[in-house]
């Protein structure tokens, strides 16, 4: 049952300690940490997409001033570093498991992509390390490479891994590979009055957070403990992965994360560089510091998307959806990242059939090895790929059937009175008012008067289009999450969490939540995260899960704190537990004037527990399991195109989101807008390009286009909160909604603007050249 008694607490955002600290330049990011005696690190990286390593000559480099050591794979052998790839294992057709090739910290006999680390230079200054890296001479024997996933499946493609015939990592299908289901889907298409088919490419993109990956690694010989200071989305998750890579007990590695300047999924898991830097710290006996350059980031950070799909939809004569069939080919890269295959398979297919009542779904995914950087989570992580496919397909179905796009969507939406409903892929939607969300977006965007705006644009020589994107995504990821409440400092309640913020202002939201439930001033509650050694089980800040998972843990912890305080308070006040009343941070003995201040009592309880007088202190540790939720909404974009130049301008954007109970409207809206910026970037600008030999073409911001403030439209954002029924806060998640919705809304608007249906084949990014060609009836030149 939902606890709504406090649900409106803190809806108005009044700033936070994080705001003040960061605006004043008082943040502590990974590069701000300066340990005495540290060495600077620079990696020698492969210039080849695929090659044998014949020799690595470091003698000249070792003689340079300031160079302390140069490490290759041979130097790390004594530490027995394991496979850096520690992925979630996916099961494909016939029970075949995901193939996971060995990924070394430093390349051994072969390099598999441009930028793979081959050697590590340690020096007393950054300049000396960079000069040392330039002096290292590596000799290679180039091998044939393949950068495109479709090309990698061809019979004559280079074979990248002997254990993966045909470069296939896993052949996955959902909801099942049952031939009977395939037959049902085939029959539905055979009986359909309308049958539409589209091909879509979700191009590869770079994360480009404002703060690049930055690491300080050290080794504490006294406890034989590795320590990694690095940006992350959860220190515990990163620590657990690195412990497996290094082959040590979890207690023998500590990850500490400070402020994080953006991540978008990229900083969730470990990299070869982290293992190599920790090994270097152990071998050198000194702290080792490394900051990725922007150029390095383009050849070493995990990337996103690279998902190609064919989608088919069968409809009745009156527009009812009968069956959905999709086939996707996804590039995993040269190695398997921690969640790359999971995103391509599970995350993608679990978003189907979205808001729609589609009785039959078959979704096949082939994950493929290529000589490129691994793909991993990028804001949305499979959700934008699924929603883009669905919403482009629905618009294609509207054009094929002659049914208005709004009417077609409305006709197939799952009704609110059907909730909870189990979908064909196994999800259980607990709540949602999909038609109400659609109607709210249509009204807010003034959809009815769009024809007049289109006519006015035509008089100005512009093409105007409108695009709808109804979306539903699953939020939550790992269900287990913990929280610790501690009274370690006088007058302060410290809330320790495993999730870690990279711009979400957890410190404000979660402090307000705990304070509101306990009746305390927010100023006395301090949120702390970023250390793996507090042993909090749970997942990182991914999948829009923090408010749901950590929020639920805080609710449980506040309840347990009050229960424990009443239990121990009865001992201190010499009354029955039932006679102890919790009131705004005080314990009152009913019917008397006796009371205990929470913080004074916490100090007393800690002292008594340490002396063995009481069985416990007031500190609380909890773990909860929180089911997934299903955020949803409707975004509507309006664009104007100059047909003479192909320039696209987003002139209006409406977002209506159901993220459940809104804990902070200001921050929630910021998440929607930030997500929209990244969706807009992918729709119009961004595309990471490898040539056919695996060489990087877009290796800097001179070539890789990023959205700017001038690209952003005025945004009309509102919420339609329908409380989630599976967690006590009623929250659903909002961090990825903007990206998931925006891509389809913008691309549908562009397709609507270009006359004669010539924009329906346009692939992202919709650059001016491609749009100009589409306006002239020329084909999309992109692959």
| pLDDT tens figures, 118-165 | 999 999 999 999 999 999 999 999 999 999 999 999 999 999 999 999
Closest CA to 169 of 365, 306, 431, 436: 365
Confidence (pTM)? 0.94
| pLDDT tens figures, 36-53 | 999 999 999 999 999 999
* Lowest-pLDDT choice from 471-480, 547-556, 747-756: 471-480
Helix (H) or strand (E) segment spanning residue 485? strand 480-489
Q: So what's the pLDDT on residue 426?
A: 93
CA torsion, ordered 176, 177, 181, 186, to nearest 10 deg: 130
Q: So what's the pLDDT on residue 17?
A: 66
CB count in 10 Å sphere of residue 72: 19
Q: What percent of the chain has pLDDT over 70?
A: 98
Over residues 5-28, mean pLDDT: 60
More confident residue, 483 or 9: 483
CA atoms of 97 and 226, how far apart (whole Å) = 32
Closest CA to 630 of 604, 612, 657: 657
Q: So what's the pLDDT on residue 542?
A: 83
Helix (H) or strand (E) segment spanning residue 273? helix 272-284
CA atoms of 447 and 442, how far apart (whole Å) = 5
| pLDDT tens figures, 538-582 | 888 787 888 899 999 999 999 999 999 999 998 888 899 999 999
Confidence of residue 415 (pLDDT cuts 50, 70, 90): very high
- In the predicted structure, residue 6 carries a pLDDT above the cut 70: no
| pLDDT tens figures, 600-617 | 999 999 999 999 999 999
- In the predicted structure, residue 324 carries a pLDDT above the cut 60: yes
Over residues 768-782, mean pLDDT: 89
Helices (H) and strands (E) in the chain, counts: 20, 28
* Lowest-pLDDT choice from 356-365, 366-375, 456-465, 610-619: 610-619
Cα atoms found within 13 Å of the Cα of residue 85, Cβ hemisphere only: 21
By the 10 Å C-beta count (0-12 exposed, 13-18 middle, 19+ buried), 700 is classed as exposed
Length of the chain, please? 783
- In the predicted structure, residue 591 carries a pLDDT above the cut 90: no
* Lowest-pLDDT choice from 61-75, 335-349, 488-502: 488-502
Over residues 710-724, mean pLDDT: 95
Is 264 in contact with 678 (CB distance < 8 Å)?
A: yes
Q: What percent of the chain has pLDDT over 90?
A: 86
Confidence of residue 18 (pLDDT cuts 50, 70, 90): confident
**Alpha helices per DSSP H over 621-725:** 665-684
| pLDDT tens figures, 481-507 | 999 999 999 999 999 998 888 778 888
Q: So what's the pLDDT on residue 540?
A: 83
| pLDDT tens figures, 168-224 | 999 999 998 899 999 999 999 999 999 999 999 999 999 999 999 999 999 999 999
CA atoms of 321 and 193, how far apart (whole Å) = 10
Phi and psi at residue 83, to the nearest 5°: -70, 120
Confidence of residue 10 (pLDDT cuts 50, 70, 90): very low
Q: What is the mean pLDDT of the chain?
A: 93
CA torsion, ordered 350, 355, 357, 359, to nearest 10 deg: -10
Contacts of residue 265, Cβ cutoff 8 Å, sequence gap at least 6: 207, 233, 302, 304, 376, 377, 378, 379, 381, 542
């Amino acid at each position: 049952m939902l606890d709504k008694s406090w649900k409106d607490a803190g809806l108005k955002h009044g700033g936070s300690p994080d705001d003040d600290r960061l605006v004043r330049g008082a943040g502590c990011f990974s590069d701000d940490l300066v340990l005495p005696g540290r060495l600077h690190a620079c990696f020698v990286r492969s210039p080849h997409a695929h090659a044998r390593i014949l020799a690595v000559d470091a003698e000249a480099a070792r003689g340079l001033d300031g160079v302390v050591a140069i490490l290759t794979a041979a130097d790390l052998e004594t530490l027995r570093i394991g496979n850096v790839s520690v992925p979630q294992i996916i099961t494909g057709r016939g029970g075949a498991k995901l193939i996971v090739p060995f990924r070394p910290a430093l390349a051994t006999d072969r390099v598999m992509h441009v930028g793979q680390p081959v050697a590590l230079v340690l020096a007393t200054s950054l300049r000396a390390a960079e000069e040392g890296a330039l002096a290292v001479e590596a000799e290679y024997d180039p091998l044939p490479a393949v950068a495109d996933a479709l090309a990698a499946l061809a019979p004559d493609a280079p074979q990248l891994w002997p254990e993966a015939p045909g470069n296939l990592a896993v052949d996955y299908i959902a909801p099942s590979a049952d031939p009977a289901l395939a037959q049902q889907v085939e029959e539905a298409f055979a009986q359909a009055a309308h049958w539409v088919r589209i091909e879509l490419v979700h191009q590869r993109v770079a994360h480009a957070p404002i703060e690049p990956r930055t690491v300080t690694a050290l080794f504490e010989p006294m406890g034989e403990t590795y320590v990694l200071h690095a940006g992350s989305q959860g220190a515990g998750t990163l620590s657990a992965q690195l412990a497996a890579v290094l082959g040590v007990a979890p207690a023998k590695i500590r990850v500490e994360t400070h402020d994080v300047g953006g991540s978008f999924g990229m900083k969730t898991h470990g990299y070869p560089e982290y293992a190599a830097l920790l090994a270097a710290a152990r071998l050198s006996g000194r702290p080792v510091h490394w900051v990725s350059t922007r150029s390095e980031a383009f050849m070493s950070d995990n990337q996103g998307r690279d998902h190609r799909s064919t989608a088919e939809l069968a409809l009745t004569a009156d527009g009812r959806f009968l069956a959905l069939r999709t086939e996707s080919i996804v590039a995993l890269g040269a190695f398997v990242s921690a969640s790359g295959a999971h995103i391509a398979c599970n995350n993608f297919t679990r978003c189907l059939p979205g808001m729609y009542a589609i009785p039959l779904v078959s979704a096949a995914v082939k994950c493929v090895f290529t000589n490129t950087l691994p793909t991993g989570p990028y804001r949305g992580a499979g959700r934008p790929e699924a929603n883009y496919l669905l919403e482009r397909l629905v618009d294609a179905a509207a054009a094929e059937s002659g049914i208005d796009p709004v009417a077609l969507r409305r006709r197939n939406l799952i009704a609110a009175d059907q909730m909870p409903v189990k979908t064909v892929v196994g999800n259980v939607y607990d709540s949602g008012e999909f038609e109400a969300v659609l109607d709210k977006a249509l009204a807010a965007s003034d959809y009815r008067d769009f024809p007049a705006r289109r006519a006015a644009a035509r008089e100005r020589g512009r093409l105007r289009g409108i695009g709808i994107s109804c979306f539903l995504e699953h939020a939550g990821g790992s269900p287990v999450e913990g929280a610790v409440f501690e009274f370690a400092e006088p007058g302060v309640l410290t809330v320790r969490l495993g999730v870690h913020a990279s711009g979400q202002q957890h410190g404000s939201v979660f402090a307000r939540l705990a304070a509101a439930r306990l009746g305390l001033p927010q100023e006395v509650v301090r949120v702390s995260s970023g250390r793996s050694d507090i042993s909090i089980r749970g997942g990182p800040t991914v999948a829009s899960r923090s408010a749901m998972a950590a929020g639920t843990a805080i609710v449980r912890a506040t309840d347990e704190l009050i229960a424990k305080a009443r239990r121990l308070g009865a001992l201190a006040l010499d009354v029955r537990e039932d006679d102890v009343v919790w009131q705004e941070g005080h314990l009152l003995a009913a019917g008397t004037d006796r009371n205990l201040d929470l913080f004074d009592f916490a100090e007393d309880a800690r002292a008594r527990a340490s002396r063995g007088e009481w069985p416990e202190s007031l500190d609380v540790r909890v773990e909860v399991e929180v089911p997934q939720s299903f955020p949803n909404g409707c975004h509507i974009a309006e664009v104007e195109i100059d047909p003479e130049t192909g320039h696209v301008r987003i002139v209006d954007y409406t977002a209506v989101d159901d993220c459940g109970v809104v804990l902070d409207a200001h921050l929630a809206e910021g998440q929607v807008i930030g997500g929209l910026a990244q969706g807009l970037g992918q729709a119009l600008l961004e595309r990471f390009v490898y040539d056919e030999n695996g060489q990087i073409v877009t290796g800097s911001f001179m070539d890789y286009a990023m959205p700017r403030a001038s690209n952003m439209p005025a945004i009309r954002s509102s919420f339609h909160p329908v409380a989630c029924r599976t967690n006590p806060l009623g929250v659903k998640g909002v961090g990825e909604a903007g990206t998931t919705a925006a891509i389809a809304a913008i691309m549908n608007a562009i397709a609507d603007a270009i006359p004669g249906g010539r924009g329906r084949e346009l692939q992202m990014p919709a650059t001016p050249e491609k749009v100009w060609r589409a306006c002239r009836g020329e084909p999309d030149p992109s692959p």
